[in-house]
Each structure stands twice: as C-alpha cells, then as structure tokens.
Amino acid sequence: MLEGKKAIISGGNAGIGRAITLAYAKAGADVVIYGRNGERNTAVAAEAEALGVRAFPIRCDVSKPGEVEAAVKRSAELLGRIDILANVAGVSPKKPGGFKIPFYELEIDTWREVMEVNLNSVFYVSRLVSRYMIEQRYGKIINMSSIVGLTGSEHGPAAACYSASKAGIISLTRSMAYELAEYNITVNAAAPGRITTAMSGANNEYYNKRNLNDIPAKRFGTPEEVADFFVFYASDKSSYITGETTLITGGWLIR
C-alpha cells in the first residue's frame, strides 16, 4: 500500500508512534524515526528493518526548532524525498496515579512544555517538510489530535493544556490542508479516544471504569487500530480527502 514511499514519524519510538512506524514499514515505506530517546529510536528502527525496509533513527527533540531543522535536512538526505509525515510526538502531564491536573494547579512551565511538544512541534516539522513536498508536488501529512481536542479534558485524565494543544492541532490541520491542497498535498488528523498505551493512563482503575461506561464498543482501542488510519491517510486511496479530523473512539460521541 505504501511501497516505495518515504516517511518521517515524529514520536515514532513508543506507543501509538511505534505502531505507526511498524505499520508504515509493513506497508512498504522506508521510515525515519524522530524521538528524544536514542536507544528506543534505534530499537524500533531495527524492528522496522526486519520487515524489509530501510529505517533510520534520528535523535531529535521536536520542541526545539534548531534540532528539527537539522533532522529534516538529514532525513531528506537519507530518504532522497519525503512523501509522508506523521506528527505523533506528544506529552500529557498527570498527577501520580494517572489523575489529571486541574488547570488552576498547572505550572506555567508545564503548559509551555505541552504546547511546545504537542502543538508547536507540528508547526516546526511541517513547515520544513512541506517545502520538500511542495517542490515535488506530492505529500501526505497526518497529525495526531485527540477526542479531548473536541470535548475538553472531561473525558479522561488529560490536563487542560493537553486538550487545548489537541484542539489547536485540529484547527492547524484545516489551515494547512487549505494552503497545501493546490500542491497535491493532503493534511488530515486523527482524534483517538481511549487507546491502551502507557501515556493514556490505561492502568488507572477509576478512569477505566468511567470511560468504558461512555464507550458503546465497551473496550479501549489499540495502537494498531490507530496505525491503520495513518496508513490509509498516507496512501493514495485517500487522495481526495483533506482537512479532516477522524474520530477513532469506539463510538464515544454517538450519544
């Protein structure tokens, strides 16, 4: 489905990001993995290479524009072109036990960190990668939002800063899609609900019970189910879809 394509995955070394990296590799794409943890980058790159593609780990803090600039330049050198960008990197501050932090208890530095990693990094990486895509008149950009970008942080343990950052991604996705459409570049976003990962607080008994009662499917999603969405929107089967944010929630907002 992605044979011969070249992809960058920010935050591609753990959780949903790792699942996306491996799904792209299984579909035939060469991959570059951005992440702050060099050892995890290397480990996931080895998993991807075992699937028969080229994989390159690049240690990069995507909240730092200087590191992003160097990483994107190196990615273009390694891959030869950039067809796909998956902006997945994210952080979510919580209290011990996985409980969310009320907005009035948030430290300013925490707010800034979440915005830098979750929202600003999408701008930092996309503004540079899109220049390559514009030149080749082809590209697929997929951003990671969240259900709380639509509902606020009442649904689960995400803090207000996390919800605000994910709402910003939805709006940025639409703006990017509008500006890049004439260059044959599509931009879409995923808005997952509760997915079983370490960051989601899936081991928090209080939120597990509360959230399951709200989900018609009566289960949490898997990283692989989100990765399937990222594969579809990275493929040419989605060529007439842009500016959309797709809920992956087990029907959470039906009622």
**In the block, which residue shows the tokens 């509008």?**
178
User: Choosing from 124, 162, 207, 233, which is the catalytic residue?
Assistant: 162
Residue 24 buriedness (CB in 10 A; 0-12 / 13-18 / 19+): buried
Residues 6+ apart with CB under 8 A from 185: 130, 133, 134, 138, 139, 140, 141
77 CB neighbour count, 10 Å cutoff: 9
Give yes or no: 162 in active site: yes
Catalytic residue numbers read 162
